[in-house]
Chains A and B, each alone.
Chain A
Amino acid sequence: QVQLVQSGTEVKNPGASVKVSCKTSGYTFTDYYIQWVRQAPGQGLEWMAWINPKRGRTNYAQKFHGRLTLTGDSSISTVYMELSGLRSDDTAVYYCARATPPGDYVPLDYWGQGTLVTVSS
């Protein structure tokens, strides 16, 4: 069965970076884009970016340009989301999700469990 398993809770100081992993299984890793969505405490969903694991092509929301990097490692079917220059308003649960069917402009059918990132001094 399809699974996306994310790394654990992170606590970071302002200005630091965080790298969250999303390990996938149950399907061919390179066939499906992975997207990242975050949710601040008590707030709605915010789309961040996507990555094409086959070619490494990425698309970032403008507000994260320069701070956000998505990478993939096909040898272990894992995608990484790294956010730098952390601020208190980056405190959120970060989700990875699989886009389906294969392609970029498609919905999200399987989601990771979420990773809480807390930014606090």
Chain B
Amino acid sequence: DIVMTQSPDSLAVSLGERATINCSSRQSVLFSSDNKNYLAWYQQKSGQPPKLLIYWASTRESGVPDRFSGSGSGTNFTLTISSLQAEDVAVYYCQQYYRTPFIFGPGTKVDIK
């Protein structure tokens, strides 16, 4: 299995400040045939299902504000919220879909400082 880790477990950021979440995979999720990283980021607010934010490591889903961005390749990835808004309070998960089981990271809780 491709185990995923995230850091930090939680973070508190002031409104308007940058939030950075890291995700690592035990094995590379970069598929050489198409040069794509099979890595997604989801946001889950309390009591709601997850919402897709980023896929192929850096492609923003339609309708997602451009303050959310994804970067990285191979085994190390980052989700950045450039200017934290109150509505961004949530738990954020990375997920690899390179190989089944499509394991999620343990999640990072983001709060307002």
Chain B residue numbers with a CB within 8 Å of A45 are 42, 44, 50, 93, 95, 104, 107
Interface of chain A, helix or strand or loop or mixed? strand
Nearest-CB distance from B55 to chain A (Å)?
Answer: 4
Q: A105-B98, A107-B40, A107-B55 are in contact. Are A44 and B93 (CB under 8 A)?
A: yes
Q: Identify which of A44, A62, A63, A114 gathers the most chain B CB atoms within 10 Å of its CB.
A: A44
Q: Does B101 contact A (CB under 8 A)?
A: yes
Number of A-B contacts (CB under 8 A): 54
Contact call B52/A107, Cβ cutoff below 8 A:
yes
Q: Does B88 contact A (CB under 8 A)?
A: no
Q: In the docked arrangement, what's the CA distance between A48 and B42, Å?
A: 17
Q: Identify which of A59, A95, A111, A112 gathers the most chain B CB atoms within 10 Å of its CB.
A: A111
- Partner of A61 from the list B44, B93, B98, B100 (CB cut-off 8 Å) is B100
Count chain B residues whose beta carbon lies closer than 8 angstroms to a beta carbon of A.
22
Nearest-CB distance from B54 to chain A (Å)?
Answer: 9
**Can you name the residue of chain B whose Cβ is closest to the Cβ of A62?**
B101
Q: Does A46 contact B (CB under 8 A)?
A: yes
Q: Does A11 contact B (CB under 8 A)?
A: no
Contact call B101/A61, Cβ cutoff below 8 A:
yes
Within 86-113 of B, Cβ neighbours of A (below 8 Å) are at 93, 95, 97-98, 100-107
Residues of chain B having any CB pair with chain A under 8 Å: 38, 40, 42, 44, 49-52, 55, 61, 93, 95, 97-98, 100-107
A/B interface sample: 16 pairs, CB < 8 A: A35-B102, A37-B50, A45-B50, A61-B101, A95-B49, A95-B50, A97-B49, A105-B98, A107-B40, A107-B52, A107-B95, A107-B97, A108-B40, A108-B50, A108-B52, A111-B50
Residues of chain A having any CB pair with chain B under 8 Å: 35, 37, 44-47, 50, 59, 61-63, 95, 97, 105-109, 111-114
Question: What are the 5 closest A-B residue pairs judged by CB atoms, nearest first?
Answer: A111-B49, A61-B101, A107-B40, A107-B55, A45-B104
> Given contacts A106-B55, A107-B97, A113-B49, could you give 7 more A-B pairs where the C-beta distance is less than 8 Å?
A45-B93, A45-B107, A61-B101, A62-B101, A107-B95, A108-B40, A114-B49
